[in-house]
Structure 1
Amino acid sequence: MILIGLTGSIGMGKSTTAAMFREAGVPVYDADAAVHDLYDQGGAAVGPVGEAFPGAIRDGRVDREALRQAVLGNPEALKRLNAIVHPLVGRDRVGFFAKAEAEGADMVVLDIPLLFETGGHANVDAVVVASAPAQMQRDRVLARPGMTPERLDAILAQQLADVEKRTRAHFVVDTSRGLEPAREQVAEIIAVMRDPQRRPARDRTTD
Structure 2
Amino acid sequence: MIRLGLTGSIGMGKSTTARLFAEQGVPVYDADAAVHALYAGRAAPLVEQAFPGTVIDGKVDRALLGPLVFGKPPAMAQLEAIIHPLVKEEEAVFLETARRQGHRIVVLDIPLLFESGESQRTDMNVVVTASPDIQQERVMERPGMTLEKFVAIRTKQMPDAEKRRRAHFVIDTGHGLEPAKRSVAAILKALAAR
TM-score (norm 1): 0.87
Which 5+ residue runs of structure 1 have no aligned equivalent? 197-207
Distance 1:24 1:154, change over 3 A: same
Match of 2:62 in 1: 64
Q: 1:85 aligns with which of 78, 83, 92?
A: 83
Deviations 1:142-195 (A, max 9, x none): 111221122222322332222221121111110000111111111111122222
The answer to whether residue 37 in structure 2 is matched with residue 37 in structure 1 is yes
Q: 1:155 aligns with which of 153, 163, 170?
A: 153
Flag as ranges the 4+ runs of structure 1 deviating above 3 A: none
Give distance in 2, aligned partners of 1:157 and 1:52. Answer: 29
Give distance in 1, aligned partners of 2:163 and 2:72. Answer: 23
Aligned residues: 194
Give distance in 2, aligned partners of 1:51 and 1:158. Answer: 29
Give distance in 2, aligned partners of 1:164 and 1:19. Answer: 24
Shift of 1:102: 1.9
Deviations 1:61-85 (A, max 9, x none): 1112333333323333322222211
Shift of 1:12: 0.7
Distance 1:52 1:5, change over 3 A: same
Q: Does structure 2 conserve the Cα–Cα contact (< 8 Å) formed by 1:129 and 1:172?
A: yes
Distance 1:66 1:154, change over 3 A: farther
Distance 1:54 1:165, change over 3 A: farther
Match of 2:175 in 1: 177
Shift of 1:55: 4.5
Which 5+ residue runs of structure 2 have no aligned equivalent? none
Match of 1:128 in 2: 126
Q: Which amino acid aligns with 2:56?
A: R
Deviations 1:2-59 (A, max 9, x none): 100001111110001001111111111111111111001xx12112222333353233
Q: Which amino acid aligns with 1:39?
A: Y
What secondary structure is seen at the aligned counterpart in 2 of 1:54? coil
CA RMSD between the two structures: 1.6
TM-score (norm 2): 0.92
Give distance in 1, aligned partners of 2:155 and 2:73. Answer: 11
